[in-house]
Structure 1
Amino acid sequence: MLKRIVAPLITSIGLLSLNASVALSADGNITASLVGQALALSALNYKAALKAYYDVLPGNTYTFIKYNLTRGYNYNMIASCDDNECQDLDLLLLDRDGNEIDSDKGNSTNAKVGLLVRESDTYQLVVIMRGCRKISCEYGVQLLYQEK
């Protein structure tokens, strides 16, 4: 059974360049993975919308991160955890009413979900730490948007 962990609310989308968006993490593997995923998406004109968000979760727990997203933009949320400690990280993207929009439930330490926002609104990203070899594992999440 998964247990919920409360995370802070992220309320604004400040558009930043990719280089300015990558904060240093306690774990360079997570940052490197996020940068690699973001660079792959940059070929499709995706740019970082916020600095990467880092936190820790115990195994078999989840947390919500809320984003206010703007109509007309494509967004991708990418996540990574340290593959030396983390066994599986999943993402669910939910609308305001809790309906699933997209998910990545693969058995991997990286995950990606996305959507084209048809109406500006608050969306919830559920970060699920399925397995962790330690008491808790660090993860990072990066929000990217596609230029029009």
Structure 2
Amino acid sequence: MVFPPVEETVLELCGDGTTSMTEAVERLKLICEKPIHLIEQEGEWGTLTALTVEYEDYINILFPPRHSLQYKVHCIYHELGHIFLESQNLASPQISQSLLKETKNAISVSCRHIEDDPVERWVEDFAFRMSKKTRVNSSPALDPFLC
């Protein structure tokens, strides 16, 4: 599996001008052809830092309110990296559709990833670079999420 260069993906989502998380999410919505909602979700998160839930017509990224703004931004960009790779058919979901059906009435579902997974390395690099790019170029006036 060959991943696109992270820098090119950041440029595709951020462009050359002023960039905000809102603008990057809007561009990714066009790529994956689904609305993406960022939802700060109360609840018991355990060790999870964020969670992507894809539905037929939209995608939710859930994240806990307990972390610093910078950490939340990084975790959201990590999830957006997964969404980008999946839109390019470069990463498959953690749970296949057939297995997901088996979880319909479950009270708990647990997933683990392989250590040193190339997908995780790519999305971590993506999240770091996106956080850096939007932190440098955003202001609260341009990005309601960063208020």
* TM-score where L is the length of structure 1: 0.29
The structure whose residues are more often helix, as a share, is 2
The structure whose residues are more often strand, as a share, is 1
Q: Return the index of the structure with the highest Cα Rg.
A: 2
